[in-house]
Amino acid sequence: GESVGLHLPTLSVQEGDNSIINCAYSNSASDYFIWYKQESGKGPQFIIDIRSNMDKRQGQRVTVLLNKTVKHLSLQIAATQPGDSAVYFCAEIIGTYKYIFGTGTRLKVLA
């Protein structure tokens, strides 16, 4: 079936280092992807999105890379800060509204 998954369940990085969170998706027809950040006790919060006609999109301290050939998505966080500690989900959007979320990667920032 359709699925979106993450390679690493937990990622620990030193404060100030760059973080890379990976995601694999399975539906080649998907043309829109979003990264969400979820802190404990809160709902998912939009970080950055990318459409399939792009390979890369940059935001403030975050970059999303899309490799359609291998159906892989990554989120890069520059100069990781303690406030970045959270669970990160990629979501694959099918059609106009159906979001398929992966399992999530927990990012721990070490002081």
Interaction site with other proteins (CB under 8 A): 4, 9, 32, 34, 36, 41-46, 49, 89, 91, 93, 96-104
For other proteins, give the closer residue by CB, 60 or 79.
60
In whole angstroms, the minimum distance from the beta carbon of 106 to other proteins comes to 9
For other proteins, give the closer residue by CB, 56 or 98.
98
For other proteins, give the closer residue by CB, 6 or 109.
6
For other proteins, give the closer residue by CB, 43 or 70.
43
In whole angstroms, the minimum distance from the beta carbon of 101 to other proteins comes to 3
Neighbours of 107 (CB within 10 A): 21
Distance CA 40, CA 60 (A): 22
Closest listed residue to residue 17, CA positions, set 76, 105, 89? 76
Neighbours of 54 (CB within 10 A): 13
Three-state DSSP state, 55: coil
In whole angstroms, the minimum distance from the beta carbon of 7 to other proteins comes to 14
Three-state DSSP state, 82: helix
In whole angstroms, the minimum distance from the beta carbon of 87 to other proteins comes to 8
Neighbours of 5 (CB within 10 A): 14
